[in-house]
Amino acid sequence: MILDKLENSELYSKISSNLELGLNFLRNTDLKTIRPGRYEIHGNDVFALVSEYDSKKPEDCRLEAHQVYSDIQYLVSGSERIGFESLNGQTELSSYNSEKDIVFYKGEGNPFLLQSGMIAVFFPHDVHRPCIQVAGPEKVKKVVVKVRI
CA proximity to 21, closest of 83, 82, 68, 70: 70
pLDDT tens-digit readout, 92-146: 999 999 999 999 999 999 999 999 999 999 999 999 999 999 999 999 999 999 9
Between CA 3 and CA 120 the distance in angstroms is 5
* Average pLDDT of the chain, as a whole number: 97
CATH of the domain at 44: 2.60.120.370
pTM of this structure:
0.96
Confidence class for position 70, pLDDT limits 50, 70, 90 = very high
Confidence class for position 60, pLDDT limits 50, 70, 90 = very high
- When pLDDT is averaged across residues 13-37 and rounded to a whole number, the result is 97
Q: Give the structural domain span for 103.
A: 2-148
Considering its fold, how many domains does the chain have in total? 1
